[in-house]
Copies of this chain bind each other. A is one copy, B any other.
C-alpha cells in the first residue's frame, strides 16, 4: 500500500499547529489542541527534535518551537525524520538490510531511480502547501470522494 506510518501523519498535524503560535508550546498543550494522545505527541516531538525540525527548551516554561518556516519543510524531511530514510525496497542504497540476492539479481539497482523520483516528488511539496486550504477544514462536512485511486 505504500503507506507511511501514522506517526508521520501526526507529525504533520503537530508541525502545523506549532507554526500557529509564536512562543514555545508544550506537549500537553499540543495534545489538547490536536486531539492526539499526549504520550504520542511527546514521542513525535522528541523524534522531530532529533531530526532538527523543531528545537526544544527544557525546564519550566519550556516547550517546543519550529526551527524553520513551514514553507521550508518539505514533506520528505518529515518522513525522513519519523520513518527514517526513504527506501522503497531492501535493494536501494541507504537501506539497512541489504538484499541477499544482490549478486545475481537482474534488477539490482533498478529501484534507485524510482526511489529518487519519489524522493523528488516529496521534496517538492512543503508543509505550507499542505496547510493551504486548512481554514475551512473545521466546518467542511465529511466528504472524501475527491479522488478515485482505484482507476488503474
Interfacial residues, chain A to chain B (CB-CB below 8 A): 1-4, 6, 8-9, 12-13, 16-17, 34-36, 75-77, 79-80, 83-95, 101-122, 124-125, 129-135, 137-138, 140, 142-152
Taking the full assembly, how many copies of this chain does it contain? 2
Q: By the criterion CB–CB under 8 Å, are A147 and B93 in contact?
A: yes
CB of A76 to closest CB in B, whole Å = 7
B-side contacts of A94, CB under 8 Å: 147-150
CB of A144 to closest CB in B, whole Å = 5
Q: How far apart are the CA atoms of A132 and B86 in the complex, in Å? A: 23
CB of A90 to closest CB in B, whole Å = 7
Q: How far apart are the CA atoms of A6 and B36 in the complex, in Å? A: 32
Seed contacts A2-B118, A6-B90, A75-B114; 11 additional CB < 8 Å A-B pairs: A1-B95, A2-B2, A3-B87, A17-B106, A76-B152, A85-B149, A93-B149, A94-B150, A109-B133, A110-B137, A117-B137
Q: How far apart are the CA atoms of A125 and B9 in the complex, in Å? A: 27
Q: By the criterion CB–CB under 8 Å, are B117 and A135 in contact?
A: yes
* Most chain B beta-carbon contacts within 10 A, residue among A3, A101, A147: A147
Answer whether A83 and B113 are a contact pair too, CB < 8 Å, given A108-B137, A152-B76.
no
Q: By the criterion CB–CB under 8 Å, are B115 and A121 in contact?
A: no
CB of A92 to closest CB in B, whole Å = 7
